[in-house]
Structure 1
Amino acid sequence: MNGLKRIRRDTVARWIALTIILAMLISLALNGLFIQLAGVWARPPLTETGLLEKAAAVTRVIDAAPAVQRGKLASAASEDGFIVTWHPDRQTIKVPPVDDPISEEGSNILQPLLRSAGRHVEAYEPSDWPEPSPDARYMLLIELSDASWLMFSPPTRSWGLDETPRYLIVVLLVLISTALVALIATRRLATPLQHFTEGARRFGADFRAPPIEPLGPQEIRQAILAFNAMQAQLQHFIRDRTQMLAAISHDLRAPLTRMRLRGEFIEDAEQQRRLFRDVDEMQAMINSALEFFRDDARLEPATQFDLAELLHTLLDDYRDQGVEIDFNGPQRLVYFGRPLGLKRVMTNLLDNAIKYGSEPKIEWLAASEQVRIDVLDRGPGIAQGSLEQVFVPFFRVEGSRNKSTGGVGLGLSAARAIVLEHGGELTLRNRSAGGLSARVVLPVHPSAGFELQ
């Protein structure tokens, strides 16, 4: 029960919500860590530190005091990192020559706090002094009501970055934390999906592949369980169909054998010959149909093999029979698939090219994503309207491609079925100078490896 509750809670929606929350928490943690490690540089700028408010308060107190006490009050208001001095004359203050020492931003904040309009406020930075200068420092000058001046000067910078760079750092930390959490979360979601995809692809290449282990959030688990149920039903259906076809094979062959035996007693030689021809044709159709539906080559496990070597082996077999077939393509290609099934496909296409045409030829090329094999011949070809019909079981083209040359119309159907089970496609087209081109396109699965020479 606890496991079921855990699975129900492990949903995609939950992971998305957790991703957002974790991204926010990690962003706050990184910002706090930045403040601790970076010290004053991570603090707010001067206008947000409260120093201006403090300077305004000190200014109002000293401005209200008699002139003889202002020096002592300024000294009493000083502290580490915040030095206050009173100057009765502006000329006694050494400042760098700048065009406009008035700080507009500081004035906008200080003027209301000073409760006196028209006060002169000047601000200087270390960069205002000519280099090198031992007097270079930050300085804030505020004029009092009697034209004397207060100078506020920290010995070193005691406030943080300006607003723009500080916000950029915060945004950068948010992006880093979000990317980190998103990477972990997406890997948590993508790994089960990739596992699911590999299992589905494996089932497409190997009908007897084991079920996929349900992993990941609840929605992905449900999809995997549904796929496993469908896979089991298909495997059960194939087993039942194979057993049924085996029974049909036994039941049909017995009456055909009896018909042949009874035909031996027919005295009319012509009628006997016709009967035997029909019996043989029915027997060939039954055998071809059973071979098509119960094709063990289509159930063989997928493995890595040299597709070029398989083609060369076929060419050698035809050469032993006195048939020369031109070959143009790579001399080595390690491919992941079912070798017996693909051998049957190529045998079927080459047999058709030899029976119904002339000058059989194989042209093929391989790329990182697919393999293309063309079986070519010179002959009458196939009518344009029948290029797809020939893949229908038991369909036979009249004329040059008919039953007089052998076959019951299942070869191309079986070839296309095998190619489709590999995830590829088999198409026919008439060549411009006469003849037929049968093109087999097979996908290359990246997870299975690929080697071409």
Structure 2
Amino acid sequence: MSLFAWARRALPRPRVTIARWIALTTLAAMLSLLLLKWLFSSLLSVWAQPPLLESGLIEKTAAVTRIIDAAPAAQRPSLASAAGDASYSVQWLRRHEDSGLPRLVDSEFSEGAPKMRALLNRPDAHIEVFEPADLPEGSAQRGYALLIELSDRSWLLYRAADRSWGLDELPRNLIIVALMIISSLAVALFATRYLARPLERFAEGARRFGKDFNAPPIPVVGPDDLRQAILAFNATQAQLKHFLKDRTQMLAAISHDLRAPLTRMRLRGEFIEDAELQAKLFKDVDEMQAMVDAALQFFRDDARLEPATAFDLGELLLTVVEDFKDAGAIIHLSGPHRCVYVGRPVGIKRVLVNLIENAAKYGAEPTVQLEVAAEQLVIRVLDRGPGIPEPLQERVFEPFYRIEGSRNKGTGGVGLGLPAARAIVLEQGGSVTLSNRQGGGLEVRVALPVG
């Protein structure tokens, strides 16, 4: 085992939580900014040096001017030529006109002139500064020029082809701000891969489980506290799936076992000589048998656990309505004919058949409306029947509950249609609500989430 591997095993590994990750991200952003700024100053110093007043060029120019001003006139041309370097040239002139430059009325740069005069120890020294835009169009030499008048009224001309002393303050600050933005974005993108993506997967997994009980567990990745939350959610998901499976098997077994005594009751009823009593007994047995069969179908409803898939909800609605028309029922349909939805088509079809059948059976003028919104799809099933009293609009979703009167046992059913429909819709993240219509009738509103 290498020393590095031994050290990794021996030293405790700190828990990487979301709070620590945010702190590390902030620190990394600051360090990257400092690193980029250092690279900006070191590697790009040719064009990113400080402004003229901070570069030391004025001090150098003032020193050369004092030396030439103190030298005899005969030595000044050679001294001026020797003082130049690769960045600028120096030339001694007897008259201003020899420079070939225009005489500027207001040519003193406000910040540099006082400093230059102080270095020359000549408060009355005349200084002229030329930028490329100040030079004549036909000038042979373009660039920057500096004219300084000496004590004997002669001149020193400094010329530079380009700005070798660097950028102004505004461009430099803009570059620094751009580097700050770039470094922050780079760190943010890196942090997003480690923190935001696990959070997005966590949220997506939670939404998927709300619509599909057979959804796979969420991958356990990310900071430590997020991993603990994912582990807890996966454990809860597994417990719910196990509970639902056990409950379904138990209730289905009970419903199945009730068939045997019902069959025996019917056989024994054959020996009853009283025809009226026998008819009542057979009616009760048939009703109990219907309830058991409906309960078995409800508890063994594989369509409620079918995998989600993309299908055309508008086409499915049209198919269901056409099936009712073939059976003699007139159903009015409005809404888009094409509408792609990700869900369980068998379960949604069962919901639509149940609701439309109720509207056609208990009311008149059954109508189906499909509305497409940004975040949800809304299906409205309308009729012009007696409606349902408001205090009972939630109770009808209880298993085996039936309203006496207009919606009674004589019309068929055991009271599991609406509970099964709401269960299917709820398992896909939607909702089913009832409301009475103005002028009579019932409106069933089915809302299904999009995405």
Q: Read off the aligned partner of 2:418 and give its amino acid letter.
A: L
Maintained 8 Å contact 1:127/1:136? no
Q: Which residue of 2 aligns with 1:379?
A: 385
What are the superposed Cα offsets for residues 88-108 of structure 1, whole Å, 9 maximum, x if unpaired?
A: 655654431323011111124
User: Please, what TM-score do these two structures have when normalized by structure 1?
Assistant: 0.83
Maintained 8 Å contact 2:252/2:295? no
- Which residue of 356, 362, 372 corresponds with 1:356? 362
What is the identity percentage for the equivalent residue pairs of Structure 1 and Structure 2?
A: 61
Counterparts of residues 165-314 of structure 1 (less than 5 Å): 165-261=171-267, 263-264=269-270, 268-314=274-320
Q: Which residue of 1 aligns with 2:158?
A: 152
Q: Which residue of 2 aligns with 1:438?
A: 444
Inter-partner Cα distance in structure 1 for 2:404 and 2:338: 39
Inter-partner Cα distance in structure 1 for 2:14 and 2:232: 16
Q: Read off the aligned partner of 1:132 and give its amino acid letter.
A: G
Inter-partner Cα distance in structure 2 for 1:6 and 1:296: 50
Report the alpha carbon displacement of residue 7 of structure 1 after superposing the two structures with TM: 9.2
SS in 2 for 1:359: coil
Maintained 8 Å contact 2:104/2:128? no
Maintained 8 Å contact 1:7/1:217? no
Inter-partner Cα distance in structure 2 for 1:30 and 1:271: 97
Inter-partner Cα distance in structure 2 for 1:160 and 1:182: 32
User: Please, what TM-score do these two structures have when normalized by structure 2?
Assistant: 0.84
Q: Read off the aligned partner of 2:436 and give its amino acid letter.
A: N
- Which residue of 139, 148, 155 corresponds with 1:142? 148
SS in 2 for 1:42: coil
Check 1:271–1:60 CA distance in 2 against 1; reply closer, same or farther (3 A cut). Answer: same
Q: Which residue of 1 aligns with 2:101?
A: 95
Counterparts of residues 22-101 of structure 1 (less than 5 Å): 22-24=28-30, 27=33, 40-63=46-69, 70-87=76-93, 92-101=98-107
Inter-partner Cα distance in structure 1 for 2:161 and 2:347: 86
Inter-partner Cα distance in structure 1 for 2:142 and 2:102: 9
Task: State whether structure 2 residue 432 is matched by structure 1 residue 426.
Answer: yes
Q: Which residue of 2 aligns with 1:410?
A: 416
Maintained 8 Å contact 2:252/2:299? no
Superposed CA RMSD: 3.5
Report the alpha carbon displacement of residue 232 of structure 1 after superposing the two structures with TM: 0.3
Check 1:148–1:311 CA distance in 2 against 1; reply closer, same or farther (3 A cut). Answer: closer
Check 1:9–1:71 CA distance in 2 against 1; reply closer, same or farther (3 A cut). Answer: farther
What are the superposed Cα offsets for residues 145-176 of structure 1, whole Å, 9 maximum, x if unpaired?
A: 55554433334432222221222123223323
Report the alpha carbon displacement of residue 366 of structure 1 after superposing the two structures with TM: 3.9
Report the alpha carbon displacement of residue 272 of structure 1 after superposing the two structures with TM: 4.5
Report the alpha carbon displacement of residue 397 of structure 1 after superposing the two structures with TM: 2.7
The answer for unaligned runs of 5 or more in structure 1 is 446-453
Inter-partner Cα distance in structure 1 for 2:315 and 2:168: 71
- Higher mean alpha-carbon deviation, 285-294 vs 122-131, is at 285-294
What are the superposed Cα offsets for residues 28-81 of structure 1, whole Å, 9 maximum, x if unpaired?
A: 666677678877433332222210121223334445556665555444433232
Inter-partner Cα distance in structure 2 for 1:99 and 1:166: 31
Inter-partner Cα distance in structure 2 for 1:402 and 1:378: 17
SS in 2 for 1:380: coil
Q: Read off the aligned partner of 1:423 and give its amino acid letter.
A: G
Report the alpha carbon displacement of residue 283 of structure 1 after superposing the two structures with TM: 3.9
Q: Read off the aligned partner of 2:116 and give its amino acid letter.
A: L
Q: Which residue of 2 aligns with 1:323?
A: 329
SS in 2 for 1:101: coil
Q: Read off the aligned partner of 1:205 and give its amino acid letter.
A: K
The number of aligned residues is 444
Q: Which residue of 1 aligns with 2:350?
A: 344
Maintained 8 Å contact 1:396/1:408? yes
Maintained 8 Å contact 1:430/1:437? yes
Report the alpha carbon displacement of residue 245 of structure 1 after superposing the two structures with TM: 0.9
Q: Read off the aligned partner of 1:206 and give its amino acid letter.
A: D
Report the alpha carbon displacement of residue 181 of structure 1 after superposing the two structures with TM: 3.5
